[in-house]
Chains A and B, each alone.
Chain A
Amino acid sequence: AQSVTQLDSQVPVFEEAPVELRCNYSSSVSVYLFWYVQYPNQGLQLLLKYLSGSTLVKGINGFEAEFNKSQTSFHLRKPSVHISDTAEYFCAVSDPFESGNTPLVFGKGTRLSVIA
């Protein structure tokens, strides 16, 4: 079964500074990878996804992530954060070679706090 490790539970960063949120997944032949954002008391909003093709994927709100198969990583980056980016970020993996009904497996999340 797949597993996801988000290496940092909390990341404080000053406004307009760059940020990287780290995500590693357990090895598999092929995976689909996702980043979701959760604002307080809300559901999850899809930021970006890697299904196939280019390893650098761009998402909403200026975020991007790079799929690195050799390092089994899918780190999320933003060159300049805003106060409004303060939220919980979840990395998730889906293994497309199981039954076809495979749910997402999530990491424990990284709380990004942007400081003015």
Chain B
Amino acid sequence: DTGVSQDPRHKITKRGQNVTFRCDPISEHNRLYWYRQTLGQGPEFLTYFQNEAQLEKSRLLSDRFSAERPKGSFSTLEIQRTEQGDSAMYLCASSPGGGGWKTQYFGPGTRLLVL
């Protein structure tokens, strides 16, 4: 297994621009999570996919945020009309199905800076 990968690792954008992040989970992991981590805080849950279905969304996920996992493999997280408050590390995690679902494995994250 190559682990969870995320792209890009860093993104600097101007306020009002749209950004899109990609997450590739560990092969055959059918559960995929997005979290956001701001400076000095622990990660906070944003949304969850089981295969291609988005099954849960946090109230943190405003209508400017959208996530997809079209074929049940990689996922994208898009932020429209970025605001300075969106500056954070965006983390993706995956877990396998069956009894292994309890343990989530994290990617390196995408650090977003909105100017």
Contact = CB atoms under 8 A, between A and B. Distances in A.
Interface of A: 4, 32, 34, 36, 41-46, 49, 51, 90, 92, 94, 96, 99, 101, 103-109
Interface stretch (B11-19, B35-43, B66-74, B75-83): B35-43
B21 interface: no
Interface range on chain B (Cβ under 8 Å from partner):
20 to 34
Contacts of A106: 42-44
A45 B50 contact: no
By DSSP majority rule, is chain B's interface helix, strand, loop, or mixed?
A: strand
B48 A103 contact: yes
Nearest to B111: A41
21 contacts: A32-B102, A36-B106, A41-B111, A43-B6, A43-B106, A44-B91, A45-B106, A46-B105, A51-B102, A90-B42, A92-B42, A99-B56, A103-B45, A103-B48, A103-B58, A104-B93, A105-B45, A106-B42, A106-B44, A109-B40, A109-B42
